Amino acid sequence: MVYAIGWTLWLSGVLWLVFHYALMRKGPFGDEPQPLETWWLRLHAAMAFASLWGFGLVWGVHIVAGWRTQRQRISGGLAVGLLVWLSLTGYLLYYLTDDRWRDISAVTHWATGLALPVLLAIHIVLGRRRSGRW
């Protein structure tokens, strides 16, 4: 369930970026958003909310136990830090009114979100190698 939420969250964010920047339509009064853009953003917001539940589950079941064993603290700590950063910048995207700061928050949110699967893959591969499951 956590993986399904995470991948849906990531994919909906990627699709929003594609629809917002690559599939904008020319209208009689300038650029118009592609109709599905709004739905990708809505799905992304719903999955962001669900990911908070998933993060709480992973915290209680995986992160606390992993921290005690002192294994993969760097990759795990970075993953947690990036998830917190994504939550903060997502919140700011919703509430910031200053365009300059909103643009900065947006770019850091997108860049972090696009890169997060790579860090999580490294974290998973390292964990499986150490435990001998590969």
Residue ranges per structural domain of the chain? 2-131
Report the pLDDT value the prediction gives residue 13, as an integer from 0 to 100. Answer: 97
Q: Which residues contact 112 (CB under 8 A, 6 or more apart)?
A: 82, 85, 86, 89
Q: What is the mean pLDDT of the chain?
A: 91
- What does the pLDDT look like over 48-100, one tens digit per residue? 999 999 999 999 988 888 888 888 888 889 989 999 999 999 999 999 999 99
Is this model's pTM higher than 0.75 or not?
Answer: yes
Containing H/E element for 25? strand 25-27
